[in-house]
Amino acid sequence: MLSPRKVKHRKQMKQSQHLHRGKESRGTHIAFGDFALMSTESEWITNRQIEAARIAMTRYIKRGGKIWIRIFPDKPLTKKPAEVRMGKGKGSPEQWVAVVRAGRIMFELAGVEEPIAREAMRLAAAKLPVKTRFVARGGR
């Protein structure tokens, strides 16, 4: 599971929802592979969802090709235990999320044919909470 080794602040503020809207300005082009999975909407993606998508892709391509994960869950989400009264401070960090906005390249793939890459990305997209788009290098 992906998570930071060390963070400056153990608990972060959630941020208001309007900051999640809009398009991504960085990480919008294919940098490493030949095919990629791009987000078309904004959402938080947990480390478990990223791992599930990675496993789905690697199982389908069967040791062929190389996968790059272009998002990293560096935002802690806190939660208070069940049936606990209000007050008494903020809950403890429970999971890590990556903030993904529309247009962000999340996964890249190289070393396989396009139909195989397309199917692997479709399987990975099924594990993610965002709508996605398959993109190829050079706009193929």
Q: What is the CATH number of the domain that holds 102?
A: 3.90.1170.10
Residue 17 lies in a domain: no
For residue range 48-98, list pLDDT tens digits in order: 999 999 999 999 999 889 999 999 999 999 999 999 999 999 999 999 999
Helix axes 114-125, 47-61, angle to 10 degrees: 150
Number of domains in the chain: 1
* Res 64: pLDDT: 87
Q: Do residues 10 and 41 touch, judged by C-beta distance below 8 A?
A: no
What is the distance between the alpha carbons of residues 39 and 132, in angstroms, rounded to a whole number?
Answer: 4
Residue whose entry in the numeric block shows the structure tokens 């599971």 = 1
* Res 105: pLDDT: 96
Output b/e per residue, 89-118; b: 16+ Cβ within 10 A. Answer: eeeebebbbbbbbbbbbbbbbbebeeebbe
Residue 19 lies in a domain: no
Residue whose entry in the numeric block shows the structure tokens 């478990």 = 48
Residue 114 lies in a domain: yes
Structure tokens at 68: 């790059």
Q: Do residues 80 and 63 touch, judged by C-beta distance below 8 A?
A: no
Domain that holds residue 64: 30-79+92-139
In the predicted model, is pLDDT for residue 139 greater than 70?
A: no
Residue 16 lies in a domain: no
